[in-house]
Structure 1
Amino acid sequence: MKDDFAPLSIKGYVEQALTTDQRSDAGSLTFPLLGLFGETGSLLSEVKKKHRDRASYIGYAGAVVDELGDVLWYLTVVAARGGLTLQEIISKSFGQEVSSFAALQPPIMPQTGSPSPTFEQTLLQLAGEVGLLIIDQEAGRLRDNQSALAGRLIPITRTLIKAATEAGVTLEAAAVKNLSKIFDRWPKERIYPAALDAEAAEQEQLPRTLSVEVFEREVGGKTYVFQRCNGINIGDRLTDNAMTPDDYRFHDVFHYAYVAVLSWSPVIRGLFRLKRKSAPKIDEAQDGARAMLIEEGVTTWIFGQAVNLNLFAGMAAGDLPFDLLKHVRQFVSGYEVESRPLWVWEEAILTGYAAFRFLREHRRGLVKIDMNRHTLTVEKLP
């Protein structure tokens, strides 16, 4: 945890944050202004939730840090696209050169677990300042006018720092957490983590390569999906188990994609009898019935989202909704796969759905897993 909170300069944060501003509309203020407005609203929403559900809303503190970090990111991008820097705006806000986040707030921060009336008022002020920025943008007063933009960003910055202090949150902590979240989703370099069962006995490891035939067959006037590996039928014959046919009968391909990309699938472990029996605690907690239910649950939930998004057709890395991936992470909290970065989860999901769409179209296929290359492919099956 020490590395997570290593000193971070304002310049260092800006340099890293701007590497993730990769949209094609790089010269426009529209996107980051929408984001700044939206994240300020999200910050207000967290306070509202705490008021509404004071006893049950336990995620308030973490959510505030998250939202402050998001506001800081969009503020950084707005400044950069306008030809300014966050450090420049902060220094103008203080009337002197400022290079560190630590210099922005008191050395001893207030301890608070609930929003104070002062904090709430400051957030409303922040929302008002951002609103004035949007109004000036729409009126054309910010076009090619760095002075006017700086004049709006300075009070926003001052109010943001004030809000963070009143919430008992250092902007440095918010900045560090923001970068961690960003690179969890959009990494600088795509380096796959080691397999989750790398230390397990070889006979209890998920198969590093595997080929499975998936095909439909009619039995007693009803169509089922069957699976065969090395000439042996595996698993149960499957139907959609739904009132309206949706081809969910092919959903095991999602589990195979988890194996290939995430090196995880309690369901496939159970199917191929690869539970880690030599490590009883892992066997019970990570490979047992509850873990299987979690995997089936998250798979079904993702499918519900995918149906509304054309089964993710045409989507590439970076296209899946960020909220979807965050919900998946929450879903698997407490299980070994929660350590997988969000970009790996996205790849597993997109890989699985590409194979699912193939099977849906052709009704049969040969699924090939290669854990060493983190790939799953599907080809026509005669």
Structure 2
Amino acid sequence: MFGQLLGDLALVSACFALELGEIANQNLLKIYDRWPPQKRYYLIEPGGKDFEQFPARMEVEFIQRKIGNRLMVVQQIKGLNIGDPLTDNSRRADGYRFHDVFHLSYAAHLGWSPVIRALLKLKRKSEPQLDENEDGARAIILEEGIATWIFNHAKGNDRKLYADVPPGRLDYSLLKQIRSMVDGLMVANCPLWQWENAILDGFRVFRELYHHKGGIVIVDLKRHKLIFNPPVPSTEII
């Protein structure tokens, strides 16, 4: 049986001028990209000056407020507002107002987030090529698009915001599509398992923020993880 299958494989390979050795090698690369025996984080070359780098550790507070009939989320670092207040931007309340935690997770696990760079004024102006191509408007829009697309995927077909998805089981086609979307950027070199870690960790903390109506997110870029702390009781929490 095995011999017959191997013969059929060789015949099909010959029909398409493919070499079995190359096919086997590509399959191994695919496996290591998705399920490596040992996970070593790929570190993107940061570039730029020291003062243009992500902090090794950040504490970001997500504060939910009700303004009129709308729920809004304000983010603060050391009491200072970061960016604009966010709503769900949808007729159906779905918690998307907390979605900036996804960008924080990309920063922690991938060392990449043009959105967070823009919010923290960390665009690498000292290197014009990086500033324009890696930190510019196109990269920011792309990251926002990826975050929104993944969020919609996580909501659909009873996926429960990936609550039941263990590491190694996130939709493979989703990960491949993300890689194709970031083609040409430095982050395209990150393995798929690293993207999966960023996505699942981001959704883990997103679910906590949504449940607790806010909270404090510690972003540890050295250890590549997010830590969630519930919000301090406040009259602002709705």
Query: Which residue is equivalent to 1:318?
Result: 168
What is the CA deviation profile of residues 276-331 of structure 1, one whole-angstrom value per residue up to 9, with x for unaligned ones? 11110111010000001110111111111111211010322112111111111111
Query: Which residue is equivalent to 1:121?
Result: none
- Assess if the C-alpha contact under 8 Å between 1:186 and 1:318 holds in 2: yes
Query: Which residue is equivalent to 1:54?
Result: none
Q: Which secondary structure does the structure 1 equivalent of 2:124 belong to? A: coil
Aligned ranges 1:21-36 → 2 under 5 Å: none
Q: Which residue of the other structure, out of 352, 356, 361, is the alignment partner of 2:211?
A: 361
Among all aligned residue pairs of Structure 1 and Structure 2, give the percentage whose two residues are the same amino acid.
Answer: 43
Aligned ranges 1:296-311 → 2 under 5 Å: 296-308=144-156, 309-311=159-161
- Assess if the C-alpha contact under 8 Å between 1:196 and 1:264 holds in 2: no
Q: Which secondary structure does the structure 1 equivalent of 2:154 belong to? A: helix
Q: Which secondary structure does the structure 2 equivalent of 1:235 belong to? A: coil
Asked if 1:344 is matched to 2:180, the reply is no
Q: Which consecutive residues of structure 1, in runs of 5 or more, have no partner in the other structure?
A: 1-151
* Cα distance in 2 between the residues matched to 1:182 and 1:232: 44
* Cα distance in 2 between the residues matched to 1:263 and 1:272: 14
* Cα distance in 2 between the residues matched to 1:286 and 1:154: 50
Q: Which residue of the other structure, out of 183, 189, 197, is the alignment partner of 1:333?
A: 183
Q: Which residue of the other structure, out of 87, 111, 120, is the alignment partner of 1:272?
A: 120
Query: Which residue is equivalent to 1:168?
Result: 17
What is the CA deviation profile of residues 23-70 of structure 1, one whole-angstrom value per residue up to 9, with x for unaligned ones? xxxxxxxxxxxxxxxxxxxxxxxxxxxxxxxxxxxxxxxxxxxxxxxx
Query: Which residue is equivalent to 2:6?
Result: 157
* Cα distance in 2 between the residues matched to 1:345 and 1:219: 35
Query: In the TM superposition, what is the alpha-carbon distance from 1:179 to its structure 2 partner?
Result: 0.4
Query: Which residue is equivalent to 2:41?
Result: 192
Query: Which residue is equivalent to 2:235?
Result: none
Asked if 1:246 is matched to 2:94, the reply is yes
* Cα distance in 2 between the residues matched to 1:260 and 1:231: 21
Q: Which residue of the other structure, out of 221, 224, 234, is the alignment partner of 1:374?
A: 224
Query: Which residue is equivalent to 1:294?
Result: 142
Q: Under a length normalisation based on structure 2, what TM-score does the superposition of the two structures give? A: 0.93
Query: Which residue is equivalent to 2:236?
Result: none
Which of these two proteins has the greater Rg computed from alpha carbons? 1
Aligned AA (1:242): S
Query: In the TM superposition, what is the alpha-carbon distance from 1:194 to its structure 2 partner?
Result: 2.3
Query: Which residue is equivalent to 1:177?
Result: 26
Q: Under a length normalisation based on structure 1, what TM-score does the superposition of the two structures give? A: 0.59
Higher normalized contact order (CA 8 Å, seq sep 6+, divided by chain length): 2
Q: Which consecutive residues of structure 2, in runs of 5 or more, have no partner in the other structure?
A: 233-238
Q: Which secondary structure does the structure 2 equivalent of 1:238 belong to? A: coil
Query: In the TM superposition, what is the alpha-carbon distance from 1:153 to its structure 2 partner?
Result: 2.5
Q: How many residues align?
A: 230
Aligned ranges 1:99-114 → 2 under 5 Å: none
Query: Which residue is equivalent to 1:112?
Result: none
- Assess if the C-alpha contact under 8 Å between 2:44 and 2:187 holds in 1: no
Residues 341-350 or 323-332, more deviating = 323-332
Q: Which secondary structure does the structure 2 equivalent of 1:236 belong to? A: coil
